[in-house]
Each structure stands twice: as C-alpha cells, then as structure tokens.
Structure 1
Amino acid sequence: MARDELYSQVETVISACLMAACICCTIVGNILVIMSVFTYKPLRCVSNYFIISLAVADLMVAVLVMPFHVVHYVSGHWVFGEVFCNMWLTFDILACTASILNLCAIATDRYYAIHDAINYAQKRTSKRVLVTISAVWFVSVVISAPPLLGWNNSGGRNLYDIHSRSCELTNNRGFVIYSALGSFYIPLLIMAFIYANIFLATRKRLRARSQHPTHVGHMTSLSSDGAKNDGCLTHLVSSCAKGERSSETSAQSDQANDFTDSDKALDSGEGAPEQPNMHMLRLLEQKHQFSLSKERRAARTMAIIIGVFVLCWLPFFLIYVIFPFCPSCAANAGGRLVTFIVWLGYVNSSLNPIIYTIFNIDFRKSFKQLLQCKCKR
C-alpha cells in the first residue's frame, strides 16, 4: 500500500511538473508572438491581427485555465469555491473556443487571399479584420455563457458540488451538443474544407509548373513584380515584406526578387540578345525549382496545421459528447485518461505559436532579436 501511495505521489509530481512546463511554454510563446507583431516592422500588417487574436486566446488558456486545473489535479478537489468555479469553467470554454474559432478565421482569411487575391487584398482593411475578430469573440461568449445563465447540469445541480468539492463542466445533453458543434465540429468541417481546397489548388499548380518549367519560371517573375502591393499573409509560409503581397504569389516572390532585374531585361529585350543565353535560362530554372519547393512546403504546413488541430482536440470533444449519453463510459474511464485528454487539448495552445510562426522567416528573426535582447539584459 505504501508503495502504491509513493508511486501515486511520484506520478502526481511528474505530471504537475509537465503541466507547469506546458504553461510556461504557452505563456512565453504567445507573448513572443504578440511582441513580435508590435515591435518588428515587417510583421505589422493587417492579416497579423488574426495571429494576435489567436495568441491572446491561447494566453488566456495558459493564465486563466491551466494553472487552476493543475491545483485541482494535485489537490484532488476544487479549493477555490463556487463563484470562481463558475468563472473558471466559463473562461475554459471561452478561451478554448476563441482559440479554435481564431484558427478557423485564419484558414478562411487564407482561403480568400488565395482564391480572390486581388479583390481580397483591397477588401482586407483594418476595420474588416477587426469586425471578423470581434465576431469570433462574440460567438465564443455566446457559446460559453449559457451555463452561467441556468443551462447547468442535469437534475438542477450546479457546476460546483459542495459535498464532493468538485468543479466540472455541465453534462446537460442539449448544451453539450450545442457547445461541441459551435466550438469544434463546425469549425473542423470549415477548416477541413478550406485546407483541402488549398491543398488541391497547390497540387494543381505544382503539376502545371512541372509540365511547363520555363514558361512558368518566366511568368513567376511577372507575377512577383505585380504582387508587391497585395495582401500580406503570414500565417503559414509567407512573410510580411515591404508592402503587402497576396499569399498566392508570396511563396514565389521571396526568391524571385533576386532575379527581378534579369527578368526585366528578358521581358523588355534590353541588354539581351535575341536568343536568351544559358545563364538566364539557368536563373529561370533555379527560380522555378525554388518556387516548387516553397509550394511543397506550404502544402506540408497545411497538413501539419489540420493534423495537429485534430490530434489535440478531437479526443476531448469525443469524450465530451459521449459521456453525457453513456454514463457507464464516463464511470469506467480512468481519471488519468481524462486528464491526459483534457491537457492534450490545452497543448494545442502551446503548439499554435510554433506552427504559425516557425515556418515564417520574419517571426523567426523577431524571436531571435527579442530573446537576444532579453539575454543581454
């Protein structure tokens, strides 16, 4: 018995340390994202408002939700009373829902930036983006507020049980379906549809370029010149450069700028013979290969985004929906498994700053500057 108790204590300490490390990573990562957008000039573009909103939601998860879950886990019961129990569960639903809906808003923004690049670059104003972000947070409040307004547990019980000193999400079947659809399943369908379309469009472009490399290489230079003032999309692989560019051409324009002068010479015929020399052809081929590589990385990044999102949140929303309709399933589920699944969802808030910034060179530069500055101090 003593051995089992010691094992249990060691397990609790290790789990609490891992949870604390997750909290620290989430806080540091999202603060770096917010500071980067405000302090690093190339990142100050309208589309990055979505990244800030996502970082704020994930920061709320780390500050207002995770620490109290750790205390609840270590102590074995809720120690903060009924009022704060209601507030904590509300913040839990609000912050996690806002994080998921911000991911959906980012996906939608990228979709329109690719499929209607020129028109959407003009429509993507600060006011329009802020209205979209406000709608995301409003929907999150609408989804999280009902338990406070009386849509509580079945049988008229409150979220906080004074006898067992437990604080748990409502198991009212109506609210469970309502919140699960709004917080996860509908956003999941939207994101899957959007990224599937983006992936198919990317693969179609890759095939077209593979069949016509020289022609595409020539057209890449033309499109990169005309794209410098289009909308900036930093979410996945593009960078906010001087002025905003459309996401469709951003994957090509970074390297293409190195060849702009040479391409203009070819287009205008100035300083070039009637037949392009081998040097120019090699430049075009190099640019074409780089463009294909960027497109492939973009496709892989999309797969990572949707894969990590599903991996982190699907287990939680499965048990969230199943348990109210299957009491025996809830009774037989081990506490360790439930805790692991809950924290797997929280981990998504730790991974978002990595996924949405590590593939962007400007964010990497900004992180490096911020961290070096802090280390020097």
Structure 2
Amino acid sequence: MVLSTTVPLLDTGDINSRFCCVVTRLLNLSERLPMEDLSVANISLGSGSPSEPVTPTANALEIQQGIGLPLQIFFCFVMAAILLVALSGNIVVCLMVYQRSAMRSAINILLASLAFADMMLAILNMPFALVTVVTTNWIFGDVFCRVSAMLFWFFVMEGAAVLLIISIDRFLIIVQKQDKLSPQRAKLLIVVTWGLSFIFTFPLAVGSPPLQIPPRAPQCIFGYSSDPGYHAYVLILTLAFFFLPFTVMLYTFMGILNTIRHNAIRIRSHTTDSVCLSQASKLGLLSLQKPFKMNIDMSFKTRAFTTILILFSVFTACWAPFTAFSLVTTFSDRFYRKDSFFQISTWVLWLCYLKSALNPLIYYWRIKKFRDACLDLMPKYFKFLPQLPGNTKRRIQPSAVYICGEHRSVV
C-alpha cells in the first residue's frame, strides 16, 4: 500500500509538469495566431471576401516603418513641385482658350480638354497621394479610396483619348490631305470621350472590382487577386487607356514620318529643277520655264507634328511603367508581397503625375502663342523673361499650312 501510494504521487508530479509545458506552448501559439490570420486575410485579396476592408498586416506595418526619411522627404518635395506646376500650367491653358476667341480652334479645344483632365487629376488625386506618402497610411476611408481610384483612371483615360484624337487629326491632315476636324466636331468628340471614360471607370467607385487600400501603396491601386473577373477588368482597362491608343498613335506617327520623308525628297528635286530653270532663263531659253511654283516651309511642317510627337513620347515614358506595374501587381502574388512594394509604387505613381506637369511646359516651349498668352496673364512684376516678337495676325487653314508663298512666313 505504501508503494502504491508513493508511485502515483510521483506520476502526478510528472503529469503536472508536462501539463504546464503544454499550456505554455499553447499560450505562445495563441499569440502568433492573430498576426498569421491577419497576414492570410491580406494575402488572399480577391480570393476570399474582397469587399471587406483589409486590415494592415505586420508586413505592411514593417513597410510603413521601413521608408527612409531622406527618401520620404524627396518624394514629398517632388510631388509638391509636380502638383504646383501641373495646377498652375494647366489652368493657364484652360484660361487661354476660354478667354480668347481666336484661340478656339479644334486643336486648341482638344488641348484645353487635355489640360482640364490634368488639372482635375492634380486637384482631386495628387494632394491625397502626397498625404499618404507623408503618413504612409491611408486616412481618408474605404469609400473615398474607391472614389479616388475611379477619378484617377477617369482623368487618365480622358487624357489618352484626347491625345489619340489629335494624332489621328494630324495623320488625316498630313498624310490624307483631309481636314475633317472642326471646332464643333472637336467639342462633340470631347463629350463622347468623357462619357466613355466614365463608363469604363465607374465600376471602381462601387467596389467592383475591389481595390487594395493602402498602406501597401500611396494610393488605392489594383492588388493581387485570383479572380478571373478581376483580371479581365484590369486587362480591359489597360487595353483601353494605354495599349490601344499607343498602337494607333504609333501607326499614325510612322505614316506621318514616311510622308514627310517623301516630301523632303520631292522638295530637293524641285529645288534642283528651279536652279536649272534659272540658269536657262539667263541664257534666253524662256520657253523652258515652267509656270508651276512651289515653296514649302519645312520648319513649320515639322514643328506642329514634332510637338505632338513629344507629347506622345512623354505619354509613353510616363505611363508604360505604371501599366506594367498594374499588370504585374494583379497577376503576381510574389511581386505584390515584396517588402519594397510601397517604394516601387511611389516611384511609379510619381512618374505618372509627372506627365501632367510636363504638358504645359511643352506647350510653353513649342507654341509661341502659348508663351505670349502666359506673359499676358502674368502680372507685370513677374515679367522678368525677355519679350518675344509680336504675334503675326493671320488665319491658316490646317490642310494648307505647309504650302506658302514666296514672301510668307509661317513661324
């Protein structure tokens, strides 16, 4: 009996010690489970219940705290400068076309619509992205996140559509010798493009498809998802705003360049014939002279096209990285979960907004009337730039701007 009573006591002690170890392990495991559940909830964006708000994960919190202060200051300074230039420059473009009836040609109306889209992008998107870069956290709520994404793509698609219309118009004028675009038709096309852009982007405002709420990015963007419908929408959107306009504009510019090259060859041949006729007239062979006379100012012919080509190049350089970024983010879970995802998305977004600031600078650099309008709208104490020669008061038909008289200047 003594042995039987002492042995169970020893077994009970062993059981208690083992039980304490098991409880300790369970407590440690219970502390890890919430963070793992949160990470799983974020990783499965689009595969589970994507309409529910996403809770920041531990990985996301590390991303928030991992941004270096010098890089954060650089992003804030650059985005603030882009915001200021984009807002002021595009306002000047809109005011110039609105206040001056002589500037309301078809091409200028289209440029004003492009400037208005860039201006609204600067007003309704850039400030909130700037605040998110500073705080590394979206503080404006889930609803405004969806609305902000819808406005972002809305203005981006409108800008691409306007640039596409301008490129087609230049192609018809230079290659086909057809001037089809009047101010009334330009206004009608602007209404159509704004309507189509709204139709394409409105589903984002109602959460279909759902978007990833920062802190993984400085703005509401497309996140990784395994939903085929989600993939289809992203593909349609990127096709409509970038790939289709890029392909059409590239075709038109190749056709324009080919036409300019052929015309340059014809002009050189005509110049040689003119020299021969001049020598013949000096020898008294007046019967060899031809009544046909052609004098083409090639500098003006290429200048308007070069301006549109520069706008196209800026559009491609600024938006091609963002398009690739959106597609890779949507289809690659590995890329979406990278620790440097916030920094990459900030760089790409900064490059997108840069286009809105570069367009007014291109207008000022390439268009003389725009420079003069800027100087007229500028207060006198800001007019420190040298005055340019006065405007030449003339009206030119777009289809005939390349053929000029002997003493007529077009620049």
Q: Under a length normalisation based on structure 1, what TM-score does the superposition of the two structures give? A: 0.71
Q: 1:326 to 1:65 in 2, by over 3 A?
A: same
Alignment of 1:47-62 (within 5 A): 47-62=107-122
- Separation in 2 of the partners of 1:371 and 1:215? 50
Q: Match for 1:44 among 99, 104, 109?
A: 104
- Separation in 2 of the partners of 1:189 and 1:216? 41
Q: Tell me the equivalent position of 1:23.
A: 83
Q: Match for 1:168 among 202, 220, 240?
A: 220
Alignment of 1:301-320 (within 5 A): 301-320=307-326
Q: Tell me the equivalent position of 2:124.
A: 64
Instruction: Report the Cα offset of residue 52 of structure 1.
Output: 0.9
Is 1:144 equivalent to 2:201 in the alignment?
yes
Which deviates further from its counterpart, 37-46 or 61-70? 37-46
Q: Tell me the equivalent position of 1:101.
A: 161
Q: Tell me the equivalent position of 1:125.
A: 182
Consecutive unaligned residues of structure 1, counting only runs of 5 or more, are 218-272, 276-283
- Separation in 1 of the partners of 2:302 and 2:182? 29
Aligned amino acid, residue 351 of structure 1:
L
Consecutive unaligned residues of structure 2, counting only runs of 5 or more, are 1-64, 224-229, 276-283, 287-292, 384-411
- Separation in 2 of the partners of 1:165 and 1:304? 30
Question: Considering only CA atoms, is the larger Rg found in Structure 1 or Structure 2?
Answer: 2
Q: 1:150 to 1:207 in 2, by over 3 A?
A: same
Is 1:366 equivalent to 2:373 in the alignment?
yes
Q: 1:8 to 1:312 in 2, by over 3 A?
A: same
Residue 90 of structure 1 aligns to a residue whose secondary structure is: helix
Q: Tell me the equivalent position of 2:265.
A: 207
CA contact (8 A) 1:12 1:74 kept: yes
Alignment of 1:65-80 (within 5 A): 65-80=125-140
Render the CA deviation track for 1:187-245: whole Å, top value 9, x for unaligned.
1111111111111111111121122226689xxxxxxxxxxxxxxxxxxxxxxxxxxxx
Aligned amino acid, residue 201 of structure 1:
T
Q: 1:374 to 1:64 in 2, by over 3 A?
A: farther
Q: Tell me the equivalent position of 1:294.
A: 300
Residue 77 of structure 1 aligns to a residue whose secondary structure is: coil
Render the CA deviation track for 1:253-312: whole Å, top value 9, x for unaligned.
xxxxxxxxxxxxxxxxxxxx997xxxxxxxx99x65xx2333454564454233222111
Sequence identity (%): 26
- Separation in 1 of the partners of 2:174 and 2:274? 18
- Separation in 2 of the partners of 1:71 and 1:170? 20
Aligned amino acid, residue 220 of structure 2:
E
Q: Tell me the equivalent position of 1:84.
A: 144
Aligned amino acid, residue 111 of structure 2:
I
Is 1:193 equivalent to 2:251 in the alignment?
yes
More helix by share: 1
- Separation in 2 of the partners of 1:339 and 1:67? 14
Which deviates further from its counterpart, 328-337 or 63-72? 328-337
- Separation in 2 of the partners of 1:131 and 1:36? 20
Aligned amino acid, residue 174 of structure 2:
I
Q: Tell me the equivalent position of 1:231.
A: none
RMSD, aligned CA: 3.2
Residue 78 of structure 1 aligns to a residue whose secondary structure is: coil
